[in-house]
Structure 1
Amino acid sequence: MKKLFLIIGAPGSGKTTDAELIAKQCSDTIVHYSTGDLLRSEVASGSERGKLIEGFTSKGNLVPLDIVVETIVTAIKNAPKDVILIDGYPRSVEQMASLDKVLKSQNDVALKSVIEVDVSELVARERVLGRARGADDNVEVFNNRMQVYKTPLKEIQDFYSQMGILKRINGERKIEKIVEEMQDFIKSKI
């Protein structure tokens, strides 16, 4: 059975870097995906679903929820390793509910934990604006991304807390400490 870990956190929380480092250090057992990468690789594969996704993204439209979830679940089932880390998902209550429904309807993937990399808005802002990698790393865009993240957060936290699978990790420490705690936690669940 595949073991799934979802990693959530504010923009600038370090969730992608943390997941990448863990997957690299444990490459024999763990694989890491980001939702955007999964959608892009589906398009690149030329599959029917990829063509459907491209029909939305090429026009700048959001990919419908059911297609996103289906793409994620397919990637999980086809993953070359049994432990899968997906960062940046769910981003909405709808995404959370949709994935939960799909996972409950099958027996080959178990959601082991949702790990929240917890940082203050101030730290997140300093990190994002300090790295300023591209046009989307400005105050206005950051504020919007932060709002998009925070709006459904309480409901997402409550949902996974009630399931007993939410793990919060302090993301305001040295990256080595964060990765070590997250990796130890993941290993304890597999």
Structure 2
Amino acid sequence: MKKLFLIIGAPGSGKTTDAELIAEKHKKITHYSTGDMFRAEIASGSQRGAVIESCVSKGNLVPIDIAIETILSAIKSAPTDIVIIDGYPRSVEQMTELNKYLETETEVELVNTIEVVVSEEVARNRVLGRARGADDNVEVFNNRMNVYTEPLKDIQEFYSNKGILKKIDGERTIAEIVSEIDQFIQSKI
């Protein structure tokens, strides 16, 4: 059975870097970033990639069916039994759809959702400081932050009620954050 860990956090919270470092350390863990999966689909030049690009370039959510297809395909084809996906879910609808799938799925178990917590100010400074792509500007950041924070309380409540939400302070050194997340994941597998 695949053991799934979700890592959520504001744009610039460091969730992708944290997950990458943990997966690099452990050969038994596969990491997927929804952002990386979506960028790869865009780069492929596919029709699905064009739809994804039209959403991402404005800081909007990718349509639910495309997000679920992309993520579920990645989990099922993962080369390891432990999978970390960061940046998902980003809406109550995404959370609900993933939960519906997992309720009937016998091959995948959601072990925990880990939230990397940072202030909006720290998130903004990190995103605008890195300027990785066309979507790293003030207007798009503000939209992405709103898209992230609007459903956050409901997402936190949902996973808290299931007893599978762990909050991590994301305003420390990368080494401290990665160590805490890694120890937590190791304690659950």
1:44-95 C-alpha deviation (Å, 9 max, x unpaired): 88xxxx956246347x257531232132112111110011010100011100
Q: Give me the whole-angstrom Cα distance separating, in 2, the residues matched to 1:96 and 1:33.
A: 17
The residue number in structure 1 matching 2:22 is 22
Identity of aligned residues (%): 66
Find the residue that maps to 1:4 and give its secondary structure.
strand
> In the alignment, is the contact (CA less than 8 A) between 2:32 and 2:84 conserved in 1?
yes
Q: CA deviation at 1:43?
A: 7.4
| Residues 1:167 and 1:142: Cα distance change in structure 2 (over 3 Å) | same
Larger Rg belongs to: 1
The residue number in structure 2 matching 1:69 is 68
How many pairs were matched up?
184
Q: Give me the whole-angstrom Cα distance separating, in 2, the residues matched to 1:41 and 1:125.
A: 25
CA RMSD, 1 decimal: 2.1
TM-score with structure 1 setting the length = 0.88
| Residues 1:63 and 1:124: Cα distance change in structure 2 (over 3 Å) | closer
Find the residue that maps to 2:163 and give its secondary structure.
coil
The residue number in structure 2 matching 1:118 is 117
Q: CA deviation at 1:141?
A: 2.0
The residue number in structure 2 matching 1:163 is 162
> In the alignment, is the contact (CA less than 8 A) between 1:39 and 1:53 conserved in 2?
no
Q: Give me the whole-angstrom Cα distance separating, in 1, the residues matched to 2:161 and 2:168.
A: 18
Gaps of 5+ in 2: 56-60
TM-score with structure 2 setting the length = 0.88
1:111-156 C-alpha deviation (Å, 9 max, x unpaired): 0000000011111112122223333322222211111110000000
Gaps of 5+ in 1: none
